[in-house]
A and B are shown apart, each in its own frame.
Chain A
Amino acid sequence: QSVLTQPPSASGTPGQRVTFSCSGSTSNIGSNSVHWYQQFPGTAPKLLIYRDNQRPSGVPDRFSGSKSGTSASLAISGLQSEDEADYYCAAWDDSLTWLFGGGTKLTVL
């Protein structure tokens, strides 16, 4: 069981806005940055959002992140079929451990 909690699935239609939640505790999300990864089958996770709300170069501004207290969210606006993937949150824990969420599988209907 993952220490960071994510809903297992989400869905939306093209053009919609979808959000993913990630819940942790004071020792991880509450005191450290949250990062988000996108993963397609058979490939390594790709960094999508870092330090709560920063986008690496090349990531479209349709992707955005936010954090409040011990929870964080990833939003995708203008949903596209190629956004269908698994999305993971991650955070450093004060116990000197990287933690991950269990992932949310996004289906574009």
Chain B
Amino acid sequence: QVQLQESGPGLVKPSQTLSLTCAISGDSVSSKSAAWNWIRQSPSRGLEWLGRTYYRSKWSNNYAVSVKSRITIKPDTSKNQFSLQLNSMTPEDTAVYYCTRSGDLGVLDYWGQGALVTVSS
């Protein structure tokens, strides 16, 4: 059974950088049949996919256009986890952030419990 667990600060100041980590158990971040995604949810924006990282013969990323200029998603193979870095945070980035897996069925099948991030001074 795959399990995902987000960790990181619950409060970020405007203009600062958000850093979240997702610990993976039951699968490998280097799996050639999985992709590792970050998704957020807020009342104003609903469910919004932010981006993903995945390994086939090399590491690759895809990012949502809405955050492409300020997002980085990176794998950490030594700890079997992946991370989200989102720069220049504003109150509009306040949301619950989920890490998820898309597996060989091509669906976002496993989700972390979510991490509430509030952007406020």
| A residues neighboring B (CB under 8 Å) | 2, 33, 35, 43-47, 50-51, 56, 88, 90, 92, 96-103
Chain A residues whose C-beta falls within 8 Å of the C-beta of B108 in the assembled complex: 35, 47, 90, 98
The answer to whether A44 and B114 have CB atoms under 8 Å apart is: yes
The answer to whether B109 and A98 have CB atoms under 8 Å apart is: no
Please classify the interface of chain B as helix (H, G, I), strand (E, B), loop, or mixed, using the class held by over half of its residues: strand
Chain B residues whose C-beta falls within 8 Å of the C-beta of A43 in the assembled complex: 113
B84 CB to nearest chain A CB (Å): 15
Please classify the interface of chain A as helix (H, G, I), strand (E, B), loop, or mixed, using the class held by over half of its residues: strand
CA distance A44 to B5 in the complex (A): 12
Given contacts A33-B107, A35-B107, A44-B112, contact A100 B64 (CB under 8 A): no
A97 CB to nearest chain B CB (Å): 6
Instruction: Provide the B81-121 mask, 1 if CB < 8 A to any CB of A, else 0.
Output: 00000000000000000100010011111011110000000
The answer to whether B47 and A88 have CB atoms under 8 Å apart is: yes
